[in-house]
Amino acid sequence: MSLPSPMQTLRPHLRWLLPLAAGILSLVLTLAFHYRHQLPLLAEVEPAVPQASLSVAVPTPAPVASPAAVPAPPSATPSPTPSPKAPASPAPAKPQPVDPAQYTAEEKALNEQAKRRFKQSIPSVDGMVEMQVAIASGSVVTVGSPDGATLHDESGALLAEMPAKELYTAQMGASGIALGSTELPSVVWLEPSFGGLLQVGDRLYRGSLMLAVHKGEIWAVNYINLREYLHSVVGSEVSPSWPAEALKAQAVAARSYALTYYFRPVSSLYHMGSDEYYQVYSGIGREAPETSAAVDATAGEFVSYRGGIVESLYAASDDIVAEAFEGKGMSQLGALDLAKGGYSYHQILSHYYPTTGVARFEADFE
């Protein structure tokens, strides 16, 4: 018995798929053969795809101009005719000094104020010491300022302004000081404008002024630096026409005497008085260039014994020194004679204050 063929075993409705599958297979083989022969041609014409990679931007250098491309600068050629010169400016006129005698009253006042400010700006060890000098006391004290001033209480608070060139009477008030019609505390300060002056009675003073009720009276105490104080004292005690060495001896003696009271004041209100009982202090009225120069030339110097300050007593003549101070002090007229005889101020002071020397206090201004 013979076996049936595969075609015979298939179901009748599937027999038609075999010829279709054979056709599809033949088409696939044909396309594969065609593609295999065309691939090299495609590889030749297809552009290569670039590979992605990291890159750093490098600036492209600017092209350098060729030397031939740079035009040559034009050569200078002399002008056949010179260019006209600009007219020369006239030289500024030199300032001519003005004769002080031709100053008006206002110009003289401004000039004096400028000189005071300049002198006050010069450093001096004497300027570091502030003296408190009683210059007036009584039931009534007349005060004012030619330059204007301000009134302050002890805390520095402004109380009132004082117009220039006006005088006021200070006297006992209901609870303090009555200045004109204004009631003030029992202690007030008068501060002049910068470089200005104060007036007490008929005299002008530098510095500031304290008015205070003390022992049932009105007291005026001048707060003044030692330098300006001595400018007045030396000019009040001796003549500016004396030889410079005599003036210097007077300046050192006056400074030593003032420092004694600076460290041992006679009152809690002030250091010393201003009359001949102490040494004469007259404000600016007796200042002179010669006596002020003697003060500045000996700045800080005082009569000293074993490092301490000597109360350097002095009087006009040897007779007064002998009577008032038992011969222990300087005769001003005697100092004048010694200076005329060629003595230096150190020798004059050693003569009248034996066993002493001249010391100096200093201050660092830096």
DSSP assignment of 13-70, as one string?
GGTTHHHHHHHHHHHHHHHHHHHHHHHHHHHHHSPPPPPP------PPPPPPPPGGGS
| Neighbour order of strands in the sheet with 177-179 | 182-184, 177-179, 166-172, 140-145, 198-200, 203-205
Structure tokens at 198: 């104060």
239/317 same-domain check: yes
The 10s digit of each residue's pLDDT in 17-65 is: 555 555 666 665 655 555 454 544 444 444 444 443 333 344 444 444 4
Contact, 332 vs 312, CB < 8 A?
no
Contact, 220 vs 135, CB < 8 A?
yes
* Tokens 């030339």, residue located: 297
HSE toward the beta carbon, residue 99, CA cutoff 13 A: 2
68 — pLDDT class (breaks 50, 70, 90): very low
193/210 same-domain check: yes
Give the residue numbers spanning the domain of 155.
123-225
How many domains are there within the chain? 2
β-bridge partners, 179: 170, 182
Residue 48 covered by a domain? no
CA distances from 83 to 77, 89, 256, 311 (A): 14, 18, 77, 84
Residue 189 covered by a domain? yes
The 10s digit of each residue's pLDDT in 130-166 is: 999 999 999 999 999 999 999 999 999 999 999 999 9
pLDDT of 64 reads 44
Q: How far apart are CA 149 and CA 46, in angstroms?
A: 106
Residue 58 covered by a domain? no
Residue 134 covered by a domain? yes
